[in-house]
Structure 1
Amino acid sequence: MLLPSLVLLVALVPAAFAAQAFQFVPPALTPLSTSTNYTGANNNTLSKQDVIPGLVFDRFIYIFLENTDYNDAASTAAFMNLTQQSILLSQYFSLTHPSEPNYAGAIGGDFWGMGDDDFYNIPANISTVIDLLEDKNISWACYQENMPSDGYQGFNFVSPNYLNASAPDYTFYMRKHNPAILYDSIVSVPSRLARIRNFNDLAADVNASAIPQWLFITPNMVNDGHDTDVDFASEWLMYWLPTMLNDPNFNDDRTIIVLTFDENETSEINNNVYTLVLGGGLPANLRNTTDDFYYTHYSSISTVEANWGLKSLGRQDTNKTVSNVFSFVANVTGYTNVELTPDQYPLTNLTTVFNGPLNPDQYVPFTAPNMSAVGAGGQGVFVAPSLNTSFTAALAPAPVNLTAMNLTQLRECAELVKHL
């Protein structure tokens, strides 16, 4: 784990604005125009790839907002209006607290015991949904608002405060909300790293009809509601989403969009987050309906697996309790969901209590996935060539409190991890 000394200083910047009432300002003239407020220049457009047809949709767009209780989102005008054209996933749950583990889990099928927002590089032999997509030649990209350059790996980025020109510079971008940058299996491959792009690239890619088939989109720290609130995030949605929905280069009749929150705000209650499925590919008869099956962020992985017949990660995406496939996809693909009553839901509002390689108090090494699992795509498990598949969870040592270990013991653990 790396934690630059700069982090503590930068972490104070948002606090300086805590007493300031933010007022929404469009960061660009339109969502499809480039803007100097994003600091990062457009780096040309992505190359167009052949479209790999799915059983239900050909494009899957994932949009994460921040830290909002279900009822708070439900009461905003923006979400009430959007719900009329969407499926409301009323029992969709986040994975844990705080933010970063949810982003890591949403593409990696696990959050590895992570319980903070520190600087992580997850080893290159740990696979993600990106491996599953590329295994079927399905194009993808992650778009991060206010990220300064494609593939930027820094902990954060401070830029001029476009909300208030007289205010100090502001931290609009944070690494913790960028799931792809957390995984060395993505970062260590230049062609993959180039697909972690900023919003100037997003505008250019849409205008060039070069949007890939799988997208993860993160607004900046004010527009996602993290440093503001759900009302501010709603203003951003009303500015940004209608334009995108009306552009066939972004939202055609085979596009599904999942709009959700990384986690809720009130950690004392379970982690139910307001989640909508919309887009041109949603059948008209399903709009303004509610799906009451139990879902989590892992369900978005299993839903993509089912749609394209992908392999699985053999992680929580194959744990049927927490990875139900969205019903409108399960009904077409023949996947059978697990029906749970609310008293059977796992508690996912907990933090720092899970064993894992990223929990220093309950450390266990990264292990191989469940090699016997069959995912929602009906296929076996994708395994990185460098992963030791014989090192399973059953062989992993008991959780270790790294804070109680001396330097020699820590080096021994590091040597062990190298050989996994």
Structure 2
Amino acid sequence: MVSVKFITAITLALAATVSAAPASHGHKTPSHHQKLVHGKYFDRFMIVVLENQDYEAVVADPYFGSLAKKHHGNLLTNYLATTHPSEPNYIAMIGGSTFGNDDDSDVSYNEKSIVDILEPRGISWKEYAEDYIPGPNGDCAMDSAQSKNVYRRKHNPFISFSTVTSNPARCKNIVPGSQLAVDLKAKNLPQFMFYTPNMNNDGHDTTLAYASNWTHSFIEPLLANKDFTKDTAVLLTWDESKNYSNTDQVWSVLVGGAVKAKRNNVDNTKYNHYSILATIEKNWKLHNLGQNDANATAFKW
């Protein structure tokens, strides 16, 4: 398990952003020297995905249950995951389809993903995966597990697309989670960020309480940092429900400087994981992938 000392260290790093910044790799990402591609609702979007809990349990947690109101965001009370188990949900978020996947095995799809609609418009992206170890020269690491098994490939959807892993420049945009603090300090955050906690922090191998404590330590310093929150929307969500026999409703919240609070900080609109792509496409006027994103409901602002 990750120690409290380790979590505290990461929290302080994000809060103060004092990490040394190495040279960046891969596609250029916007910084204070570069012009953002402005969107209709937000200029940056981050997704943080946690693991395997029912909506009712999460909303009853003291921290998760109060997060939307505390940060003037919105609780999405009718948000559904796509399927079971974990991996196809992650793939759906960036690919618009599960492509028939119904397990957590290592897969590789020669299909378009969100990357293929962001890059033509010059919109930068990164996958921040905790405890991920890139291959030599920043190549995509195809291992199922790394770093004492707290990283999982199945929770890093970009690795499941050969259209990403066969491209060295794209591989360099899949980085360890610790790179987030570096990019924040350098004012070099990408415009689309997918953050994958490790197997302890996402609650998969621990508990809801552990995931709650980690989320508090991770997201609070970010939301207190004006360089991060300005024109940024953050979706905190869960990959799937714990109970396979229910509707697959998952707790999801939108927070950040770009989010406008609705009445009682609640949005009852029916959404699902495909709504992520629909929202990105609507915000930046992008083509859709021709998958389930084409008819999905975008988040309402």
Decide: shared fold, TM above 0.5.
yes
Q: In 1, are the aligned partners of 2:131 and 2:150 still within 8 Å (CA)?
A: yes
Paired residue type of 1:289: N
Is the partner of 2:271 in helix, strand or coil?
strand
Give the equivalent residue in structure 1 for 2:270. Answer: 294
C-alpha distance in 1 between matches for 2:229 and 2:24: 18
**1:74–1:23: structure 2 CA closer, same or farther, 3 Å change rule?**
farther
Q: 2:109 aligns with which of 100, 122, 136?
A: 122
Paired residue type of 1:192: R
Give the equivalent residue in structure 2 for 1:74. Answer: 59
Is the partner of 1:63 in helix, strand or coil?
strand
Paired residue type of 1:141: K
* Unpaired runs of at least 5, structure 2: 15-19
| Residue-by-residue CA offset, 1:66-96 (whole Å, 9 max, x unaligned) | 0000011001111122121321110000000
C-alpha distance in 2 between matches for 1:184 and 1:287: 43
Give the equivalent residue in structure 1 for 2:165. Answer: 187
Is the partner of 1:209 in helix, strand or coil?
coil
| Residue-by-residue CA offset, 1:360-403 (whole Å, 9 max, x unaligned) | xxxxxxxxxxxxxxxxxxxxxxxxxxxxxxxxxxxxxxxxxxxx
Give the equivalent residue in structure 1 for 2:10. Answer: 30
The reply on whether 1:262 has 2:251 as its aligned counterpart is: no
Give the equivalent residue in structure 1 for 2:227. Answer: 249
Q: In 2, are the aligned partners of 1:32 and 1:207 still within 8 Å (CA)?
A: no
Question: Which structure has the larger Rg over C-alpha atoms?
Answer: 1
Deviation at 1:32, TM superposition (A): 5.7
The reply on whether 1:327 has 2:300 as its aligned counterpart is: yes
Is the partner of 1:327 in helix, strand or coil?
coil
C-alpha distance in 2 between matches for 1:23 and 1:229: 14
Is the partner of 1:31 in helix, strand or coil?
helix
The reply on whether 1:152 has 2:145 as its aligned counterpart is: no
C-alpha distance in 1 between matches for 2:270 and 2:235: 15
Paired residue type of 2:174: I
Deviation at 1:26, TM superposition (A): 3.5
Q: In 1, are the aligned partners of 2:21 and 2:183 still within 8 Å (CA)?
A: no
Give the equivalent residue in structure 2 for 1:309. Answer: 285
Is the partner of 1:231 in helix, strand or coil?
helix
Paired residue type of 2:299: F
Is the partner of 1:257 in helix, strand or coil?
strand
The reply on whether 1:233 has 2:233 as its aligned counterpart is: no
Is the partner of 2:267 in helix, strand or coil?
strand
Give the equivalent residue in structure 2 for 1:416. Answer: none
Q: In 1, are the aligned partners of 2:281 and 2:287 still within 8 Å (CA)?
A: yes
Q: 2:23 aligns with which of 39, 44, 54?
A: 44
Deviation at 1:189, TM superposition (A): 1.0
Is the partner of 2:297 in helix, strand or coil?
coil
Q: In 2, are the aligned partners of 1:97 and 1:263 still within 8 Å (CA)?
A: yes
Paired residue type of 2:243: T
The reply on whether 1:135 has 2:120 as its aligned counterpart is: yes
Paired residue type of 1:44: A
**1:95–1:246: structure 2 CA closer, same or farther, 3 Å change rule?**
same
Paired residue type of 1:87: N
Is the partner of 1:204 in helix, strand or coil?
helix
| Residue-by-residue CA offset, 1:50-76 (whole Å, 9 max, x unaligned) | 310101111011110000000110011
Paired residue type of 2:145: N
The alignment's TM-score, normalised by the length of structure 1, stands at: 0.65
Give the equivalent residue in structure 1 for 2:39. Answer: 54
Is the partner of 2:57 in helix, strand or coil?
helix
Q: In 2, are the aligned partners of 1:45 and 1:201 still within 8 Å (CA)?
A: no
Greater helix share, structure number? 2
Q: Which moved more, 1:44-53 or 1:97-106?
A: 44-53
Residue identity (%): 34
